[in-house]
Amino acid sequence: MPDTIRICIKRPDVAVEAIDVPNTIEALQELVGGYIEVISLFPNIVVSVNEEGTLKGMPFNMVLAGHWLRGPVLFAGVKGEEFTHAPFHNVNQVESFIRRCNRR
């Protein structure tokens, strides 16, 4: 498991950004502002959000594959049960991915 991973984060009303973060649950929880909920999109891609985003009244961010997501949304890779680098080469691919997922 790498010490840091490169993920993409989409905050409400802000463009997608690629960042390096410690590969710990605590670092991811800090980014989303609480306990994380992991949503598997594909075998190697997950998004993480605050599991209480709606209850906490966090701002709406996006609809992704039928899920209404609030607060920061993290895009990461996954191998087994471990988080890994996001499988995107740049933030434009994440934005394209978001658009594709919403066409389903």
Q: Give 43-102 pLDDT, tens digit per residue.
A: 888 999 999 999 999 999 998 878 899 999 999 999 988 999 988 877 888 888 777 776
Phi, then psi, of 103 in degrees rounded to 5: -90, -5
pLDDT at residue 99, rounded to an integer: 78
| 8 Å CB contact between 42 and 23 | no
Closest CA to 47 of 62, 37, 55: 37
pLDDT at residue 26, rounded to an integer: 96
Q: Is the predicted pLDDT of residue 27 greater than 90, yes or no?
A: yes
Residue 62 and residue 75: Cα distance in Å, rounded? 13
| 8 Å CB contact between 72 and 33 | yes
Q: Is the predicted pLDDT of residue 104 greater than 60, yes or no?
A: no
Domains of the chain, residue spans: 4-101
pTM of the model: 0.90
Q: Which one-letter DSSP state was computed for residue 104?
A: -
pLDDT confidence tier of residue 103, bands split at 50, 70 and 90: low
Rounded to whole angstroms, the maximal C-alpha distance in the chain is: 35
Phi, then psi, of 49 in degrees rounded to 5: -140, 170
